[in-house]
Copies of this chain bind each other. A is one copy, B any other.
Amino acid sequence: MVRRETDPVKLLAAAQAGDRSAIARLISMVERGGVPAGDVSRLTWPAARLASLIGLTGAPGAGKSTLTNMLVRHVRDKGERVAVLAIDPSSPFTNGAILGDRVRMQDHATDDGVFIRSMATRGQVGGLALATPEAARVLAAAGYPTVLIETVGVGQVEVEIAGAADTTVVVVNPGWGDAVQANKAGLLEVADVFVINKADRPGVAEVHRDLEAMLDMHVAPGPWRPPIVEAIAARGEGAAAVWEAIDAHRAHMVETGELARRQAKRAAAEVREIVVRTIEAKAVALLNSEKGAALTARVTDGSIDPHAAAGTILRDLEA
């Protein structure tokens, strides 16, 4: 039996030479976090930090996977390489990988210019927020300069991840209330491009009008107003228009310096996230120690409150 390679330098070299299992292994390392994730991140940062990240998000059932699939095909038709990171809220106990929309992606299974990966996360809330950009950089470093990041547009972490791309595409459907739901989920603020998918269904004009009204209400008048593009991804219709809107947004960002600002903001957010995760691991270790267990017991029996216990832990962390 061959020993599994764990050296990120060797794995990255293999990944760049076209070894797909090496890419998968590097992504698993960033998913697990800790020191190996740091090593991988350190390695990919210099070259891949400016990779083009495109977020796709929307409610469950909006057809995000189908749209992603269509865009992958469009990019491939232009002869460019492209990768997909699909973020599923995953279970702490199971692998969470039940057959679903992802099956469709098998269309590209034999195409070396496409790499598709579902991200899993265990336990820790927020792990995804760090692992997703790190995984995107693995893909960029391995020769996939464009990474589509598909997340469900419900949930704090998920919306934040989608919004941390260069360009965020929010997918809605015709039907009363869809624009309202998108707004409620916080998607309006992160949207750079809206796609009305399933545009062969009734209600396109209404959702269009609702989105425009919400943009009028909420978006501070600025140089970029998110365009609203229609698509019927299931039939492959609208890919060029969606991609054109994404390209236009990127060109606008380059021109105005917004792209550099977003990249800087993401870098700062990543530093913060690493700091927080590291401290969290230390705090958990302290809580699981004998002293921590005694402290928790006193919280549980009501003799001290959680803030008092946290104060004790914080003093220990700083000591």
Contact = CB atoms under 8 A, between A and B. Distances in A.
Nearest to A50: B302
A310 B94 contact: no
A283 B278 CA distance: 12
24 contacts: A45-B306, A49-B302, A60-B181, A89-B155, A89-B156, A90-B186, A92-B186, A92-B189, A93-B189, A93-B218, A94-B189, A94-B218, A96-B183, A96-B184, A98-B184, A125-B126, A154-B154, A264-B300, A270-B299, A271-B306, A272-B283, A272-B284, A272-B287, A276-B276
Contacts of A278: 310, 314
A146 interface: no
A51 interface: no
A304 B129 CA distance: 20
Given A41-B305, A89-B159, A295 B271 contact: yes
- Which secondary structure dominates where chain A touches chain B? helix
Nearest to A302: B46
Contact of A60 (B46, B60, B275): B60
A136 to B, nearest CB: 13
Given A155-B158, A263-B300, 16 more contacts: A49-B300, A89-B186, A91-B189, A93-B218, A94-B218, A98-B184, A100-B184, A126-B126, A154-B155, A155-B156, A271-B306, A275-B279, A275-B280, A275-B313, A276-B276, A278-B314
Contacts of A92: 186, 189
